[in-house]
């Protein structure tokens, strides 16, 4: 990855990368509800058992709505053979879309280290990934459909067990024009969130890292709403704006996405 811009905050991160993981599974013309079955290879916190088989579409809902880590692993192994090989695909794609300081090791965003470094990203890179998912990916509409679903029910392929996934993205009900988003948490990353808002012909993206730890779980919702409600100066170009540290002790970025040229405001 390219060297990050001066002052950009590098942070270990969480399941926010599931959104990118999701578009990595979607392919034009792919009927993920029938043509691709994934097998869980180990017991999981979601209640899936080793050897259970699921349709890819159903695991994508489990991944995006509930942040089920085993869904990410099952899908990655199905697509690439191993989680390590899938991480390479993610790193290659991240560089292709312009990420400057991200390094993927795990498909579910959990903390990890290897000989090349530690699992990390920046708010700027997460915003680029969200932009790819909702605007430039060929599968953007499918991504939006999944991430905006309030509740989703499915069963394993054998029909023996049923599951219900609920969307934990409260921002979808907080503001008119909310498009999509992904929550996440690990002990090192804290509470994180990436969300997108459509306002007239503009799309805004907010990325929050280390936005509080346990007992401060709601910081991210107040911070996201405040950022999206601010009057944004200027027009006519794509702008990054870095704000001051506030209640969640994290870097925040708001992204104006209606032009291709990027400028940085310090």
pLDDT by residue (tens digit) across 96-154?
999 999 999 999 988 899 999 999 999 999 999 999 999 999 999 999 999 999 999 99
Task: Give dist(CA 171, CA 62) in Å, integer.
Answer: 19
Residues 65-93: b if buried by 16+ CB within 10 A, e if exposed = bbbbbbbbbbbbbbbbeebeebbeebbeb
Give the CA angle between residues 80, 186, 254 to the nearest 5°.
90
- Tokens in use for 192? 């994180």
Entry pTM: 0.80
Determine the pLDDT at residue 155: 93
Burial bucket for residue 198 (CB in 10 Å: 0-12, 13-18, 19+): middle
pLDDT tops 60 at residue 70: yes
Determine the pLDDT at residue 228: 82
Determine the pLDDT at residue 242: 40
């Amino acid at each position: 990855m390219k060297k990050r811009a001066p002052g950009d905050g590098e942070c270990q991160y969480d399941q926010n990368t599931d959104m990118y993981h999701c578009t990595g599974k979607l392919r034009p013309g792919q009927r993920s509800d029938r043509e691709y079955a994934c097998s869980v290879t180990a017991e999981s916190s979601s209640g899936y058992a080793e050897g259970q088989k699921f349709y890819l579409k159903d695991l994508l809902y489990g991944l995006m709505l509930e942040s089920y880590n085993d869904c990410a692993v099952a899908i990655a192994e199905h697509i690439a053979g191993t989680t390590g090989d899938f991480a390479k695909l993610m790193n290659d794609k991240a560089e292709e879309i312009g990420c400057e300081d991200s390094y993927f090791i795990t498909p579910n965003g959990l903390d990890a280290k290897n000989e090349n470094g530690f699992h990390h990203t920046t708010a700027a890179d997460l915003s680029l990934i969200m932009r790819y998912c909702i605007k430039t990916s060929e599968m953007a509409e499918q991504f939006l459909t999944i991430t905006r679903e309030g509740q989703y029910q499915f069963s394993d392929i054998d029909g023996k067990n049923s599951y219900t996934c609920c969307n934990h993205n409260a921002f979808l009900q907080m503001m008119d024009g909310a498009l999509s988003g992904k929550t996440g948490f690990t002990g090192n990353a804290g509470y994180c969130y990436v969300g997108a808002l459509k306002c007239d012909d503009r799309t805004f993206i907010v990325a929050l890292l280390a936005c509080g730890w346990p007992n401060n779980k709601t910081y991210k919702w107040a911070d996201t709403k405040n950022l999206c409600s601010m009057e944004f100066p200027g027009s006519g170009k794509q702008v990054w704006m870095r704000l001051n540290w506030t209640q969640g002790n994290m870097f925040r970025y708001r992204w104006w996405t209606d032009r291709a040229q990027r400028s940085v405001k310090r």
